[in-house]
Amino acid sequence: MTVIVLTNCPPGLRGFLTRWLLEISADVFIGNPSSRIRDLLWDEVQQYAGQGRALLAYATNNEQGFTFRTHDHTWHPTDHEGLTLIRRPNIGTSQTSSATKPGWSAASKRRRFGKR
């Protein structure tokens, strides 16, 4: 089983994939091509994705029963002791809004302590 998920890709790429796979939802393609055809399709997806992102997941003989590949995603597959896990980017506290301050708001303090 092979699944390809596209995000923000050209419509021509979608049309190309419908020759080999079934589009079960917008930009989600599923099918059972041979491994040679799957690799050729993935090469075409990478070449013509443009500014878009793509994800390929397919069944294989490993502990998880599947593997996947990504193209221009911020989340990357990482091998961890034989298992493929997703490594997400670390979003630190520096990107949080500086307008929000920790603690009680002035209105909640007045309501809580009865000061009007």
Q: Based on the number of CB atoms within 10 Å of its own CB, is 12 exposed (0-12), middle (13-18) or buried (19 or more)?
A: exposed
What pLDDT is attached to residue 116? 60
**In one letter, which amino acid is 100?**
T
Q: Which residue has the higher pLDDT, 97 or 13?
A: 13
The position carrying tokens 């490594």 is 87
Q: Which residue has the higher pLDDT, 102 or 39?
A: 39
| Two structure tokens written together for 45 | 């997806």
Judged by DSSP in three states, 82 sits in coil
DSSP result, 18-65: TTTSEEEETTEEEE---HHHHHHHHHHHHHH-TT-EEEEEEE-SSSSS
Which pLDDT tens digit goes with each residue over 23-76? Answer: 999 999 999 999 999 999 999 999 999 889 999 999 999 889 999 899 988 888
Judged by DSSP in three states, 87 sits in strand
Give the mean model confidence (pLDDT) for residues 11-31: 94
pLDDT at residue 103 tops 60? yes
Q: How far is CA 5 from CA 10, 63, 107, 116, in A?
A: 13, 23, 47, 56
- Provide the CA 68 distance to its chain's centre, in angstroms: 11
pTM, to two decimals: 0.72
- The domain defined by 2-87 folds into Alpha-Beta Plaits (3.30.70)
Give the mean model confidence (pLDDT) for residues 93-113: 66
DSSP 69: E
